[in-house]
Structure 1
């Protein structure tokens, strides 16, 4: 719409909107004043006064009825003083009931919530009053029955007074609470008096009556000390020491002796001391004081309620007057300023439009790595002396600061990435030298304990190399490990397994014999190692991690499944979104993020075209599915001819077999027997303590592939190649017969347990075995092929990188 139309709408819409809002506010204030006025009328005169009169009348009739029923029959005749007092009280009660009954037809639409239900409940109780009186006169109603009836009706009346105290004004509710508590105190005192009336006459109380009396005493003291006395204000404070008065002390002294009556139990009866005179005089004085305090509190609540209602009415009149005047002023002033604002806003709009066209271009150039001059790219808006001019000046400062900040952050980010890559590259050089040195030491030493430590260092170094590659990837670079030939997927999975700390828990199962293109080997090893590490880290120790690979319709799928706690569906969705579209990661802002490994996986997967998805596992953990697309799957490369074995390399093979550990076995197995490389490409394995068996055995013992005649002599003509098994160590095989000690079954068991208790060989020994295998193949390149020409399986090696 045109700007003029917009400004007109800006003028008209607030005016039109303000009018109903003002009317609504005025109506709300009027309704609130009307409701509070009606509620105060109900609480003070219409319902409150009849309810209080009924409450005191029923309380007094309960006490007189209890005295009549507790006295002897001879003194309870029609002409007795007790009966005369009861008849007078009944007339007063009837008058209060007649004043209360019309309240059932009262319209309390603006009244307190629950008031109608409380009035109806009280009236239903009053309907049984005549029946209860006849039962008392005829002697068919006992003291307990009369007590329960009158207490129930009085409690219903208290419900009406409690409902009246719940108004729409919080100050009135707060001030009314002590008023209701005082009524409950008077009721509890009346209950106690009615219960003790029989006790003073007979000198005994039942245990049930004693329990009701002591409960009333405890509740009354709590309400008085904890809720009424702390809330007293103004003239009410003179009753703050009511509990310290002579009458209250006398009453509590009688109650104290009453509580001691529990020790004078005679079956179901408790003997009481005759304190009726003291009790009567003290309770009458206390009741009078409580009624005086109740009257003061009632006046205080009335003053607060009507005062607040009058204040709302004053606010209603004031807001109505001011609102109408403001409405007229807003319409007139807005119409006059429309022309001025239209011209100024048009100018600012043009400046903002220019900024809108320029800033995206600046940001795009920064992303491309170009240098940007913030002062030249952001033109100044000519400032003026009013508020809109100050807005233009602030806009100048804001957009110049934004461009400068973007330029500075981009330069810092690029500089940090370059520094991170340089540091990581230099560290990778040192790690390569360390691996080379460890390789030399593994060839040099044959002591199992020394090799144990070297293998552990080799494993730690391999993991450290992966962590350094993480830094390179997070810094925007790519891994430097390269292969010149395709590699079998099983070898890639084992290479990834060797870079995991808890590799023994990982089991690998590959269907078929898929081969991976050389360009994807290094990155795929890194991705699989990160996912295997994640699976072992976030699952309980000793639980297996299963890795399965099989051909599917669009390539090869690798599944990594753990048995951990898994994640929530929202977390799976967030992780999969990250893996599908890796963000431009700023390492500085994500330094504390525990998902840096997922960022690495996401980047490598995006570069290779891998599809990585995390799902919930049937075991309760997480299953990761890595889909290798068909361009990454290649055919098996042609095998090189198998070289013949040279006799002088047999010692070297023995050393190589010694360096091979249980890291090449299935996870969870203690050890497996070492052997030559099999036709299916699986890596050889060996048992702990058996690496030198072939060295110490008889020289003429045939191997599994030599046949009964043993190996042929290579000193003359070239003999056909025959693969011999790796050496195996046999306990005490190198000792003379005189030095050998008998080994029984218990020693073997203890030896096996000791071997199991020792630290296991590190998974990095796979690398040691691979290096020895590569050296063997390099030395045998000139040797004649072995019979049958079966291809030798290829495993990922550092020489192929």
Structure 2
């Protein structure tokens, strides 16, 4: 059978219909001729032997004990005889418990039977308590009758469950036998009641009426059970009740009903009653047992017939299953083989080939679309058509990847072109600002120029972000290692709220020149993030420590903080930089930091700060760490106190107490570098010059005595006091001719002379401007002095010199 050209519909119908038809046929057979009814019928003999007969013996002993108990309560009973009967009852109960708890019965019995057995066992457990009341005569005859009758009734509820057979006719006969047993139990109740009356010599209050009801009940039960008996059993029952014993018993019952009265003696003698009652009850019990045996014998052939029909149905079902299995295998094998090939091709495209194509495109390699999407041949049916459609789909996917890579490359080129142009303009702008700063003598104008210069520095960093997004290097680089403190200073100078940044401690170290620009950019992003997400009155603390794995820089803020899951997500992105997602541009800084860290093997980790903010830890690897250069001897320098790129724009650049000072004694807390001169200050007597706190090395000023402007004040020289490694040489930058030659290191006397000249020029400028209103600005602390965090400097001059 060639199924290669079947339609997919035909294959599905063949694959589903045949097994379904076989299963449907099996379901019909199993619902009509199940193995359950057959097993239940076969278990009829087990139920009779394990429950019926032991239970009937237990009921008989309970009935005898009940009669003796009522005689005892009437005051004429013999306690030893009652005790002996109780022993026989207990033995019958133990036998019943053992047979009912057997594994065979538990496997056969259903849930209802187990439930009623448990209830019967519970009532039997309470029987000793009732016996105690009887022994102490704390229970009357009516209570004793109810006690034993309740236990016996529980046994008959168990018998009722065993009568529910799977064959309707057998069930009717079994229920009739159970009804005969109930009738005999009611007859036993009348015997017990009369035994108490015989012992008492008369009927108690209400006992005659109760006896009449009991006699009427057992006569009704016998009459109701008779029609359900099989013909042979019904004839036998009629012959039995027409015998001498039943005739005498019925006559005695009629006399008791007609002549008996409460408070009067029983109208029949005990001897006459027992001579009629005992034979009748014995015949009834024998009749019930023989009828039960006959019923169990008839159930076995019925169960065998059910099993035969079930076996036949099973064989037919097995044949149908075998046929359906054969057809399903033939059809399914063809489908599975071709669909598996199609699936493997699809998974290979999704898991291997398409990612490999994307990776090659990202590396700039050329990709042949036709070679990467070969055609798939799976025949001419629907699966073959799906294969051809998938061929087109994979060709479209590969082509889309190529187009996307081309588009991404174009966007990167656009970003890079825009960023390079912006960088060039910013470099020219910074050079122009330098010239304007050198030409200006107005403090307010200088202050504005400094602010514009600072904004341009920040704009340069944002332009570098575009370069990083485009996958290129920002372009800033140094040939020689740079002190870590100067790198921190350069990063702080590119932050808007630089005045809130304090360097707590910086251990000596230097960053390799090839990584200085990227480290400055990375730290600037983290510092700006810390200042942006912390209250304006708090400080951002920076610490640098040498560790076995390199050099660790910690940036801690006391701001809003981040949830634990957000910190974890950010750390995952920092450890494995993702591709830039334009839809998530709010996290641009995180992407830039991750890319810069991955470029140089730096590890960046965020963690919750104990102060409520976030601590960023940057671990610079050992291959980027060099010994710290020896700090140069510091003399009086320009008033702006610059020492890192653009840092002179900062009015107060906080630095830590770990920076080298002339005195080896560490300061107790972070200090601030003096701000740029913005307005004249009162003359201050020259003091000994100390290096500004936090600076590890500085270049010397252009000359021993700074060049003076028209107003007699020293002229600012761009990057004159900046570390040599950090000096920028951007296009359009000031040439060497614009800057005074760098002198040799000065002696303390030369530094003192320089500061004296600076103060003299300041005093002369105040005297010349005494008639003019004071310029607004910020007073400059004397060189070498420090300003503690939290203090302010008067914005207006305090007076004339």
Q: TM-score range by the shorter chain?
A: 0.3 to 0.5
Normalising by structure 1, what TM-score? 0.44
Structure of greater Rg:
2
Q: Give the alignment's TM-score, normalised by structure 2.
A: 0.44
